[in-house]
Structure 1
């Protein structure tokens, strides 16, 4: 996106008034009243935040978004997924200023993007975050980055993405307590035989 950052709230609010299409295309954007070339690029944003699959078909997240009880939370969820690399650098990335976001993007792209492109990327992120509801997602853990993670991939639509990595497994330690009921006897040989057997079959480490 290169010029319609302030329209992001309008895009989402208008989507809430319409039934989800079989395919979310640039024509559907035009049918919603957004006809400029900048408007059409919002389709790529919706794909990046998981509202559409690669073919433009609405996903489960899109349908949850249409329930206005969860709309802005779904946007926040999609942002955290699409910008996982940014949230890995700052878990409160949604609270950063535009200048701070630009600085992080320069780091993530190794300075390979022009300042204008970085500015577009930052504006897209800031305006997406401004629409989202972070109350339910702020405490959620961000995806863990491994040292072998794929390099950041960025494009002029203002989004960066990183391959998600599964969480590491958790080790479980088990402790056993063994209770022995001794027979009522005064014969020491009985106890000697019992403890000798325990030593043999349950050696102590």
Structure 2
């Protein structure tokens, strides 16, 4: 069941916390001391840390995740938040792909069905409140920016069109020795008999050509 158990009892400070996170340096660990340094000191504010874990901004050790660092980019924050909500409430979005548009009562009824009576009405009401407030802060319409594909380093030194334009070399059709060419010098014997030369050239033809 992909329904976070974390919930808020009051949602008024959660948007302020997200704004404070974007303006602060990411901590090594998002503990209560760091939360208080951002100005959130009430016991209700502590519940927000669990929600940050539920939506994937913090891991189980309360350390910032990759999603947290992506959230710091204020041009992408709302889009990243929507991604975290979809992952956290996966089962709800499988039932309704546009679960962000459900009313709070509709969300509570879906949670009641998915949890199979595991939670009390009071807890379900707070879980519905938490989800409804979260989706108000997120952008579900805009798709995340896709990084440009890295250039292929394999052809950095030699453009592809030049490689294609250079056809493989062919062995000479006249060669009978694998494309190797030899210069053979023959010292002819002195003779007045043309048959000697005929026999010599005939032998060359038979053995070399």
Q: What pairs up with 1:59-98 in 2 under 5 angstroms?
A: 59-98=65-104
Residue 116 (1) aligns with residue 122 (2): yes
**Structure 1 residue aligned with 2:136:** 130
Query: CA separation in 1, counterparts of 2:18 and 2:25?
Result: 13
CA displacement 1:14-67 (0-9 Å, x = unmatched):
111101011111211111001111111111111111111111111111111111
Q: 2:14 aligns with which of 1, 8, 18?
A: 8
**Structure 2 residue aligned with 1:106:** 112
Q: TM-score, normalised by structure 1?
A: 0.65
CA displacement 1:111-138 (0-9 Å, x = unmatched):
2211110000000000010001111259
Q: What pairs up with 1:179-194 in 2 under 5 angstroms?
A: none
RMSD: 1.4
Q: Secondary structure in 2 aligned to 1:5? A: coil
8 Å Cα contact 2:8-2:129 kept in structure 1: no
**Structure 1 residue aligned with 2:187:** none
Query: CA separation in 2, counterparts of 1:76 and 1:19?
Result: 22
Q: Secondary structure in 2 aligned to 1:87? A: helix
Q: 2:41 aligns with which of 25, 35, 38?
A: 35
Larger radius of gyration: 2
Gaps of 5+ in 1: 139-205
Q: TM-score, normalised by structure 2?
A: 0.64
8 Å Cα contact 1:76-1:137 kept in structure 2: no
Residue 44 (1) aligns with residue 50 (2): yes
Q: Secondary structure in 1 aligned to 2:41? A: coil
Q: What pairs up with 1:101-180 in 2 under 5 angstroms?
A: 101-137=107-143
8 Å Cα contact 1:6-1:127 kept in structure 2: no
Could you say if the C-alpha distance between residues 52 and 101 of structure 1 is closer, same or farther in structure 2, counting changes exceeding 3 Å? same
Gaps of 5+ in 2: 1-6, 145-209
**Structure 2 residue aligned with 1:20:** 26
Query: CA separation in 2, counterparts of 1:118 and 1:63?
Result: 30
8 Å Cα contact 1:65-1:74 kept in structure 2: yes
Moved over 6 A (4+): none
Query: CA separation in 1, counterparts of 2:9 and 2:143?
Result: 28
Query: CA separation in 2, counterparts of 1:53 and 1:112?
Result: 25
